[in-house]
């Protein structure tokens, strides 16, 4: 075992040499965590935290609600199968007048819809018509209809569990009751959720009249002068901590989340084919042992043990990939309390600016728009109130920002004293509630909030960072076309003089998007405006290594001068079970500047801005080996990443140049976005 660790140190030193010459010093190139769990992290446990046969189960006290979460919430041996405790809100019954109004409007929409030449789409939308009127007239029957719809269209093998009254059935009933199922909303539902029954409708024509309070300055204000002083900024994403991780359970299950006591490999149901290592596996989320090891490694490797980070951006997804029946409000609140407390006590004194991920909610991935009105508009406020209070309790954001988070789906803005404005968004652009009035690109008002904050930043002469979870572009499979199209225009309006950087997560992979002027109609170095960095995940799910990133940021411009990424080889974890001396090893993976900039004439202190990244894509067009390098980094050098050849090369470059789903769908080859196939 000792020899193995030494080999990692030697390998790490080779790729780390370029970072040692950087202006901002880092720590050692490699860190191996202790093999035993650091029991001092918590005052009390429900089990023996030093045992290697089970994951530690700390006793968690919520500082907001003052509630102690019971062991039954996270007991890996008894995972709940149905949440009947929390409310599952249904829309109120409609009046006869409203039924008549909707009947007339839907008949009109159906008669005017040219898509009905397609019989499959016609059938799908007609089915949704039935769902709509049932949801309006008898909402209590909506979940049962959702189950029938799932069965009819063969959407799942667990229709009752997924779409029943204690799962997503109530959500779908609300959507059916409010959506224009005979028009654009229905087409998109049939395309994205009902087996592609309808063709993808084109992005709606965007009318920006009156959207911006002021035109873009011409000429732009002079750029801020770099200070030469660099800040260390940590980017963490997609922790997906699994408090129900069962060490020794099946790590190669055939459905659902693996490393769970209730999930098996159906090919050999009575035998464990691949026992879950205590530090994690490729088809599993993050056990507490891996989370502790990563958080112990980060300050050492970044060289911030004594100073802390200037700030940290966390781009969402705290909660594990539990199936809907295993989730509950308490499970979400527990996870938020656990992870943010860990960040506070391990990362140092710098603030953490966090965005809500699509998994950080119950029902999963849902955020109801305020436009629904009444109690439906407030049905997720319990979560926004909780995270806002936690962020304020940890002293990361002031009361004013916490109040913004409560009112804006956990999105907020912080006007820092150093001239940087942090704007965090709830970017869950593809949840069910966004399929109500989908032809409007901002039904939630989130992008209105963003625009107003950017205008305030421009007026104040501030630079701005945008922090979200679901990315707006790349391969077009994540954000919806209309809202990401509007987001792109907002980025265009306020770049490059206001927006310094954009940060996303969600995919678990190391990716990047470039935004260009005039909606990407001219792809060139002189039209490149802004960059979105997608942070690598801590979770290995699926077929990935665990990783994190640290940016070198100029303290005056808040531009990124270099970015350093570390990874931990998940394929090495099974060998760690036989001993308790060593835990996971995190090794230096690469410097962004060194990996991609060898042939780009760029000053040592010039920022890695959108222009630089466009030059990188030009180098990729000339030398496909650079795409191979990017592809390897995308999965954090996982042994399960398959090669990128043929059309994949062109696709990767195109994805990097696509900051909206619309651009990617229009311009890029399909099917090469992820490396998680294994």
DSSP line for 208-219 = -TTTSSSPPPSS
Q: What angle do CA 288, 292, 294 make, to 5 degrees?
A: 115
- Asked whether 546 and 280 are in contact (CB, 8 A), the reply is yes
Residues of the chain with pLDDT under 70: 1-23, 96, 99-100, 103-104, 106-108, 110-111, 115-119, 429-430
Q: Tell me what pLDDT residue 653 has.
A: 98
Domain annotation for the chain: domains and CATH numbers:
9-21+229-575+588-667 (3.60.21.10), 96-192 (no CATH)
Alpha-carbon gap, residue 27 to 306, rounded angstroms: 11
- Asked whether 279 and 585 are in contact (CB, 8 A), the reply is no
- Asked whether 477 and 511 are in contact (CB, 8 A), the reply is no
**Token representation of residue 294:** 């990563």
Judge if pTM exceeds 0.75: yes
Q: Tell me what pLDDT residue 110 has.
A: 62
Q: Tell me what pLDDT residue 86 has.
A: 92
Alpha-carbon gap, residue 308 to 561, rounded angstroms: 19
Q: Tell me what pLDDT residue 629 has.
A: 98
Alpha-carbon gap, residue 394 to 410, rounded angstroms: 16
pLDDT, tens digit, 9 for 90 and up, residues 535-553: 999 999 999 999 999 999 9
Alpha-carbon gap, residue 585 to 297, rounded angstroms: 8
Q: Tell me what pLDDT residue 25 has.
A: 87
Q: Tell me what pLDDT residue 13 has.
A: 31
CA–centroid distance for 491 within its chain: 19
- Asked whether 424 and 468 are in contact (CB, 8 A), the reply is yes
Q: Tell me what pLDDT residue 53 has.
A: 93
């Amino acid at each position: 075992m000792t020899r193995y660790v030494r080999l990692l140190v030697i390998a790490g030193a080779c790729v780390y040499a370029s970072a040692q010459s950087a202006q901002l010093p880092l720590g050692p190139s490699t860190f191996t965590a202790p093999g035993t769990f650091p029991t001092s992290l918590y005052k009390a446990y429900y089990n023996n935290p030093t045992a290697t046969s089970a994951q530690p189960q700390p006793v968690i006290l919520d500082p907001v609600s003052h509630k102690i979460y019971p062991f039954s919430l996270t007991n890996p041996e008894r995972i709940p199968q149905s949440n009947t405790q929390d409310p599952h809100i249904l829309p109120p019954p409609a009046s006869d007048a409203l039924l008549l109004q909707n009947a007339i409007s839907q008949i009109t929409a159906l008669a005017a819809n040219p898509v009905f030449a397609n019989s499959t789409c016609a059938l799908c939308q007609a089915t949704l018509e039935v769902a709509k009127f049932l949801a309006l007239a008898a909402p209590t029957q909506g979940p049962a209809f959702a189950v029938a719809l799932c069965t009819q269209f063969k959407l799942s093998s667990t229709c009752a569990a997924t779409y029943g009254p204690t799962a997503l059935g109530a959500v779908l009933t609300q959507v059916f009751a409010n959506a224009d199922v005979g028009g654009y909303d229905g087409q998109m539902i049939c395309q994205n959720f009902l087996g592609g029954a309808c063709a993808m409708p084109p992005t709606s024509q965007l009318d920006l009249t009156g959207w911006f309070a002021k035109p873009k300055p011409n000429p732009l204000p002079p750029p801020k002068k770099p200070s030469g002083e660099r800040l260390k900024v940590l980017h963490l994403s997609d922790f997906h901590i699994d408090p129900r991780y069962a060490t020794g359970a099946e790590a190669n299950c055939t459905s659902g989340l693996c490393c769970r006591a209730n999930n098996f490999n159906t090919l050999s149901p009575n035998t464990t084919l691949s026992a879950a290592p205590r530090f994690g596996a490729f088809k599993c989320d993050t056990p507490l042992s891996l989370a502790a090891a990563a958080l112990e490694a980060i300050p050492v490797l970044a060289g911030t043990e004594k100073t802390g980070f200037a700030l940290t951006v966390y781009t969402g997804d705290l909660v594990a990939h539990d199936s809907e029946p295993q989730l509950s409000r308490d499970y979400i609140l527990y996870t938020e309390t656990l992870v943010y407390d860990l960040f506070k006590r391990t990362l140092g004194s710098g603030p953490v600016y966090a965005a809500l991920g699509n998994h950080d909610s119950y029902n999963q991935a849902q955020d109801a728009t305020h436009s629904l009105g009444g109690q439906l508009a407030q049905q997720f406020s319990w979560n926004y109130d909780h995270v806002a209070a936690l962020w304020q309790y940890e002293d990361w954001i002031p009361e004013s920002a916490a109040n913004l988070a409560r009112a804006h789906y956990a999105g907020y803005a912080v006007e820092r004293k150093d001239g940087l404005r942090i704007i965090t968004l709830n970017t869950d652009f593809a949840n069910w509630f966004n399929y109500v009035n989908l032809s409007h690109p901002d039904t939630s008002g989130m992008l209105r909030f963003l625009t107003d904050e950017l205008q305030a930043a421009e007026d104040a002469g501030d630079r701005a960072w945008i922090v979200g979870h679901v990315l707006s572009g790349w391969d077009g499979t994540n954000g919806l076309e209309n809202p990401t199209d509007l987001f792109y225009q907002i980025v265009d309006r306020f770049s490059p003089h206001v927006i310094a950087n954009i940060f996303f997560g969600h995919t678990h992979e190391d990716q990047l998007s470039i935004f260009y002027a005039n909606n990407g109609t001219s792809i060139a170095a002189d039209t490149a405006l802004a960059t979105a960095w997608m942070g690598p995940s801590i979770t290995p799910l699926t077929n990935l290594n665990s990783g994190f990133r640290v940016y070198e940021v100029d303290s005056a411009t808040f531009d990124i001068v270099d970015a350093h990424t570390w990874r931990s080889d998940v394929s090495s974890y099974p060998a760690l079970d036989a001993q308790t001396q060593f835990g996971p090893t995190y090794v230096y993976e690469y410097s962004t500047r060194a990996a991609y900039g060898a042939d780009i004439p760029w000053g040592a202190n010039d920022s890695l801005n959108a222009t630089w990244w466009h030059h990188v894509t030009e180098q990729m067009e000339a030398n496909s080996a650079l795409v191979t390098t990017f592809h390897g980094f995308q999965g954090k050098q996982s042994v399960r990443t398959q090669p990128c050849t043929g059309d994949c090369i062109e696709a990767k470059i195109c994805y990097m140049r696509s900051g909206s789903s619309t651009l990617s769908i229009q311009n890029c080859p399909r099917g090469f976005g992820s490396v998680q196939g294994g």
